[in-house]
Structure 1
């Protein structure tokens, strides 16, 4: 059986029943700072890191768990359909992403054109203990995940993409919820519907 670890911010309203599996983290400058402040021995079998603002179909996690590599990130090739639903100006948010096969060549820079973007990182990754140690060594205070992943790629660290085609959403605002309700209420099956079989 693998270890389970949940890292939460100090003010999280989680129940005391789960306290033995929770390492509370406070006083950090963001999610990556929180992640790398935990005790490495707590993830001796590796870890799945997932943003709290995404919803996804179980198959997304299953695909990630079946992937190989010390650092594997989930990347959506059907990202444009989701960004068109969420943003008036897609390039204000979308970041560069290029890969050869599953090996990431570039991630996280500001894109000038949509054709610079082969996929988008969804906020979910799998780290082996070695992958965790590698990213921890490259981490700088205040890093967000794509900045850290970009630094790793530029340093020659193998970062693998686990590609999906939709079936997830990111919820950052009430307008996201409204956009998803509209997309889900249409006559056609929506590519990013996380609920379907």
Structure 2
């Protein structure tokens, strides 16, 4: 098992905390986000870890100099998004993979549940997302995205603008597992996508991860939802730093 942590973004909504460091180095309850992620991965037996950096990558490398981390760089971080960042580490994709956003923290038990899912591709889905979102914002529906599951626990739609809470069966977190046998097909599929097309209103380089996952669902195979009940938090703005929803 290998892990890729996507940490290229600028974290503009966390300024001024990110003026001199990448978003994943911001501290939550006295510990940096990236330290918490790495500790969780180590606790679950994941030692082969790569980080795709971009903004302030040299600061991050210095911060983690005592750890055995493979670094990749998204030099175009200012004008790209998660999918472009992910494929900067394409040469690392030769084993079962855990892909994690760098602004989320999750418990050991949550990560272990994702690791235990046997499906070729899966992602964690929080069934209790609304409680967390109510703590973060006044109107959760305005920020939320669709997440529709079928009767077999597969995701059939995600990442769209919901019209009601009925279209949100859970919350996509940004924690994905892909088994080795599927990686080659996904890489080849990505290579066939038009660089000139628009994807949910975004250019190829600015494509959202949810848009890419939806295309995998539509063209390759279903994505299994690993259902969880809390046990994680996203740090996206200064207000999130005050949340008591997650204690690492």
TM over 0.5: yes
Q: Which residue number in structure 2 is paired with residue 148 of structure 1?
A: 212
Q: Describe the shift of the 1:93–1:7 C-alpha distance in structure 2 as closer, same or farther (beyond 3 A).
A: same
| Contact 2:155 2:225 (C-alpha < 8 Å) held by counterparts | yes
Q: What SS class does the counterpart of residue 160 from structure 2 fall into?
A: strand
Q: CA RMSD in A?
A: 2.2
> Under a length normalisation based on structure 1, what TM-score does the superposition of the two structures give?
0.82
Residue 26 (structure 1) aligns with = 75
Task: Give unmatched runs, 5+ long, in structure 2.
Answer: 3-46, 194-203
Q: Secondary structure at the residue paired with 1:5?
A: strand
Call closer, same or farther: CA 1:44–1:193 in 2, change over 3 Å: same
User: 2:117 — aligned with what?
Assistant: 67
Residue 61 of structure 2, aligned match among 4, 14, 18? 14
User: Greater RCO between the two (CA within 8 Å, min separation 6)?
Assistant: 1
User: How is 1:1-197 mapped onto 2 (pairs within 5 angstroms)?
Assistant: 4-10=48-54, 11-12=56-57, 13-15=60-62, 16-18=65-67, 21-28=70-77, 29-40=80-91, 42-100=92-150, 101-136=152-187, 137-138=189-190, 140-155=204-219, 157-178=221-242, 180=243, 184=244, 192-195=245-248
Change (3 A) 1:98 1:8: same
Residues 67-95 of structure 1: per-residue CA shift (max 9 Å, x gap): 11221101101111111111211121111
Q: How many residues align?
A: 183
Point out where structure 1 has 5 or more consecutive residues left out of the alignment.
185-191
Contact 2:52–2:88, Cα closer than 8 Å, also in 1: no
Question: 2:84·2:205 contact (CA, 8 Å) conserved in 1?
Answer: yes
Counterpart Cα distance in 2 of 1:53 and 1:146: 16
Larger mean CA deviation between 78-87 and 140-149 belongs to 140-149
How far does residue 194 in structure 1 lie from its aligned partner after superposition? 4.4
Give how far 1:118 is off: 0.6
Counterparts in 2 of 1:88 and 1:131: CA distance versus 1, 3 Å: farther
Segments of 4+ moved more than 4 angstroms: 16-20
CA, structure 1 residues 168+105, in 2 after alignment: closer, same or farther (shift >3 Å)?
same
Aligned partner of residue 159 in structure 2, secondary structure = strand
Partners of 1:7 and 1:34 within 8 A in 2? no
Q: Which moved more, 1:124-133 or 1:159-168?
A: 124-133
Question: Residues 20 and 99 of structure 1: is their aligned pair in 2 closer, same or farther, counting only changes over 3 Å?
Answer: closer
What is the Cα deviation at residue 154 of structure 1?
A: 2.5
Distance 1:39 1:148, change over 3 A: closer
